[in-house]
Structure formats: C-alpha cells, structure tokens
Structure 1
Amino acid sequence: MRATVLRNGPSPVSASADSIVEVRGVSKYYGSVEALRSIDLDFPRGKLTSLLGPSGCGKTTLLKIIAGLITADAGTIAIDGKYVSTPGPERAFVFQDFALMPWATVLRNVAFGLELRGMDKTKRENIARHYIDEVGLAGFGDKYPHELSGGMRQRVGLARALSVDADVLLLDEPFSAVDEQNRRKFQEDLIRLRTNQNKTFIFVTHSIEEAVYISDRIVLLSPRPGRVSQVIEPQIDRSVDPERIHRDKHYLDTVEEIWQGLKQYVE
C-alpha cells in the first residue's frame, strides 16, 4: 500500500472531530521577509505529525506559534476549541538545544515545570522519577547535565515535557544533535511513548526517512513563504522489527515519493 496523500495545495481544511490543534490562516513576517503564508492545518488527537520541508520553510516558526512562544501576524491557533496566543499547560516544548538548567540535577530539571505550578515536592519528584525511568534514564536522577551525553540530555528534555502531562508535545528537531545509533533508538522510543502516553506529538525534522518512520502524518511545507504543499499518511506497519521497516518496499517508496516532491527545492 502506498502512502495516502490527504491533500495537495493550499485549499483550506475543515475542522475534524478528532482534531486537538487547529491552525487557521496563520501568516508570519520577520521584517520584510514572509516566513509563513495562510497556513491551514488540523492536528489529530493522539497522533504524531511531522513538519517537513526545505530549510527556511518555516517549520520551527509554525511550531513556536503553536506553542505560543512567538505570535502570528495573521490567523489563529485553537487547542481543544479554545483560541490561544501564549504558552499554556496543555502544550510542552522540547528544544533542539536541550535547554536544561546546568546547576540542577536531572530530577530537578524534569520536575521543574511541576515546581513552577506549585506542586508538592514529594509528588512532583515521584512524577519526575516515573518519566526519567520511562525515557530510559533510571538511576540518573542525581546527575547533572554536564555529566550526561548529548543523547541523555535530550532524554531529560523529553522527560520534562512528559512530566507536566501536557496534551500536546512540540518537538523541534530533538534528535539532530545525537549520533545515528542514538537517533534510531530515540525514534523507536518516541513511537513507543506515543502509543503508551496517548499524547499528540508535533515534530519538526529535516529527515525524510525519520518523518516516514515515526509519523502518522507528514505535513510538507513549500519553500519560503511556507505554505502547506501536501499532507501524507505513511502506510507503515510499525509492529514489526524496526530493521525490517527500513527495508520495507512501502517505506522506501514513501521516502522516494516525498524526495521527488522536495528535491526541486534543494539547491
């Protein structure tokens, strides 16, 4: 079965009953540079959607607008039917550069969002320990960021995002700073976490292979100004061994299909 192309071109998308994030008419300028133009998207609840496209197409800008970290110049963002323009507890952001507090232990870093909410220390540390274990860092709660590898620090960032129990997790190229072996392991962990946690993930990546492997849906953005070019659902059976997936004809065909659509934009 080939990937399912849900839409082509810039036609508006009507809200779906299972959407948790709705983006309507979002545009963004940086001075005279138009970064995004009239983005219309729905993000299904409990699914992992990747934003994919050439450098400078506005993937991270769109992610940060959804997070409320920057404001759009036009358009709206709604989470569960409520308009938002600033950060909120229903969303958590995982930064590309880890954004950890160097003076704090792993446990304190992971529990920090709950500490800001005024949660009792014992309760927040118990929650933090659970997610430290969940991301594969059991036994590292007392370590400091400088004592961890880059891959381990990124796991701390993911555990911190999970610990606040946000409905929507926004990840900005979280695996770009780790080696290929760790990246593969993180991808497998992310698929498992999405299934176990039943969260909605919005994931920015430059990697076609990564997007096809981990995603329920892939949103292809055109070069600046970023517009929705296609929305694709890879038809990948992720219940089989990961190594088989990377050799599977459907996976390889989907990667090639996306590459054919993007290579015209590569200089």
Structure 2
Amino acid sequence: MIDPAAIPALATRPIVEVKSVSKTYAGGIEALSGISLDFPEGRLTTLLGPSGCGKTTLLKIIAGLIPASGGQVFVDGREVKGPGPERAFVFQDFALMPWASVIRNVAFGLELRGVAHSEREAIAERQIARVGLKGFERKYPHELSGGMRQRVGLARALAVDAKVVLMDEPFSAVDEQTRRKFQEELLELVANEGKSFIFVTHSIEEAVYVSDRIALLSRRPSRVSAIIEPKIVRGGDPEKIRRNSAYLDVVEDIWQQLKHYLD
C-alpha cells in the first residue's frame, strides 16, 4: 500500500482545491464523503477507483455542473458556484449538437461568450486542424467515426482556452488502436499547452501511462485512499514504456490496492 504522506508533492501550485467535499443523492445515496484533494497546475491528474465510486460525480462538481452537498471547490483561488470560463469539459459520450457542423460545434463555447463570428470561426478552424480534422469543418457528427467525434469534443474544449480541462473517460468509446493514439496526443497537449488536466478513467494502465499524478478513490462513499506519482520516463517507443518494469510495477501496485474493493 502506498502511503500518500510518503510521496512528495509535485513542485507546482494547486490550480484546483477540493475541500471536504461530500455528495448525497436523492434517496440517501452517499457518493462522496469528505474528499479533500489538490490538483497541481500544468499537470495531468487522474481520478481512478472502482466502478461507481463517484469519479464522474467529483469531476462534475469541480466543473460546476452539479452542486456538492457539503464542502467547497476552488479554481484558481475562486470558489466554484457553477460552470465558468476557466474550466472546459470533455464528455464521455461526445455531447455534440447533431444538427450543427463540426466548426459550429467547436465554436459553440465561444459563441456563448459573445465572440464575434469571424473570430470564433478562425479559432475553431485552428483547433480543428490541431486535432487532425482539417477538411471536416462542414461535416456533421453523424458523418464522423467515434474517434473523430471525440476529437471534435476535445477541439471544442481547447477552443475556449480554459485553464482547466476536465475529461470524463474520453477514450472509452473508441477502439484500442485509436485509444493509444489519443493517449500520445494527450501527452503532447499536456506538455505543450500549459493547461491543467483532470482525467477520469477505469483503466489502470491508461492512468499510469498518461498521469503525472493519480488520486486513488475508495468505493462509495468515496474517499481518497492514496496519491500516486507514477514518475514514468516518457519519450521514445511507447510500447517499450508499457513493457518497462517501472511502469508494470506501478500498474501492479495500484491493482493490489484496488482489488480488495472488489471483494
């Protein structure tokens, strides 16, 4: 078992601070219980835990999409009272407007902010090209593959230039080859953008591969059971990294911590 107190904190200030957050749904279902957790600026932190432990609930509370039952969340020093321009959300199910073109979907957040039509289309076009969809600006979601639709969702989040990007199992609906490609592209974004990413996944292997920091959550009512910093040396052949003993040891250690929640 990894002791959270034994792991040195990343040398960067927290961009998101979760303080004693709890969440109880109608019917008395307690999802989160007194969670306190900091998310370092400019890094990717993953929320990992057993199915149904409240990872997405915590992510949506940080996003301001649902209220906490108790506790507080601060983003860049300001208390979260609802959605805000400093946060962008990438949904698991893409959440695209089916009647709108790719460029309209990507520019939608800018449109809500009152950005002029020409400016928002220029920004959207840059982000569409960046995620590898140049030439698809006038296509509609039903004309795209699942992987392409997820790229549209990511481009939309990047277009608003939020400080914090929240990602709810964004790669779960794509095939394994596409998922691995997305993981590499995500690492490039983290390295080049200077943004802070909060990532939810069910995959231990994915969490270890992409994360600077992993917050391991217990089963419901969820608490933080460990903080893990994989310290994976990236670069070079991704498959060699996945076969590296340091990577495999962290994956196995997390599995040993998680599996007793499945008993």
The TM-score, its normalising length taken from structure 2, stands at 0.95
- Count of equivalent residues: 259
What's the secondary structure of 1:176's corresponding residue? Answer: coil
Note closer, same or farther for the CA distance 1:242–1:123 as it changes in structure 2 (3 Å cut): same
Question: Distance in 2 between the 1:254 and 1:142 partners?
Answer: 44
Which 4+ stretches in 1 moved above 6 angstroms?
none
- 1:69 equivalent to 2:65? Answer yes
Question: Distance in 1 between the 2:4 and 2:86 partners?
Answer: 27
Report the AA paired with residue 213 of structure 1: Y
Q: Which residue of 1 aligns with 2:20?
A: 25
Question: Distance in 2 between the 1:43 and 1:240 partners?
Answer: 27
Question: Distance in 1 between the 2:262 and 2:130 partners?
Answer: 38
* Structure 1: runs of 5 or more not aligned: 9-13
Q: Which residue of 2 aligns with 1:141?
A: 137
Q: Output aligned runs, 1:1-267, within 5 Å.
A: 6-7=4-5, 18-31=13-26, 32-267=28-263
Question: Distance in 2 between the 1:192 and 1:34 partners?
Answer: 37
Any conservation in 2 of the 1:4–1:235 contact (CA below 8 Å)?
no
Displacement of 1:7 after TM fit?
3.5
Displacement of 1:204 after TM fit?
0.5
Question: Distance in 2 between the 1:254 and 1:138 partners?
Answer: 38
Displacement of 1:5 after TM fit?
5.5
Displacement of 1:217 after TM fit?
0.3
Question: Distance in 1 between the 2:67 and 2:163 partners?
Answer: 21
Question: Distance in 1 between the 2:178 and 2:146 partners?
Answer: 10
The TM-score, its normalising length taken from structure 1, stands at 0.94
Displacement of 1:214 after TM fit?
0.2
Paired-residue identity, %: 68
What's the secondary structure of 2:62's corresponding residue? Answer: helix
Residue by residue over 1:203-249, the C-alpha shift from the partner in whole angstroms, topping out at 9 and shown as x without a partner, is 00000000000000000000000000001000101122211111111
Note closer, same or farther for the CA distance 1:187–1:102 as it changes in structure 2 (3 Å cut): same
Displacement of 1:6 after TM fit?
3.7
Any conservation in 1 of the 2:165–2:195 contact (CA below 8 Å)?
yes
* Structure 2: runs of 5 or more not aligned: none
What's the secondary structure of 1:38's corresponding residue? Answer: strand
Question: Distance in 1 between the 2:71 and 2:243 partners?
Answer: 41
Report the AA paired with residue 211 of structure 1: A
Q: Which residue of 2 aligns with 1:11?
A: none
Displacement of 1:265 after TM fit?
1.3
Any conservation in 2 of the 1:48–1:214 contact (CA below 8 Å)?
yes
Question: Distance in 1 between the 2:60 and 2:261 partners?
Answer: 23
Displacement of 1:71 after TM fit?
0.4
What's the secondary structure of 2:253's corresponding residue? Answer: helix
Question: Distance in 1 between the 2:73 and 2:33 partners?
Answer: 14
Question: Distance in 2 between the 1:187 and 1:5 partners?
Answer: 28
Report the AA paired with residue 25 of structure 2: Y
Two-structure CA RMSD over aligned residues (Å): 1.6
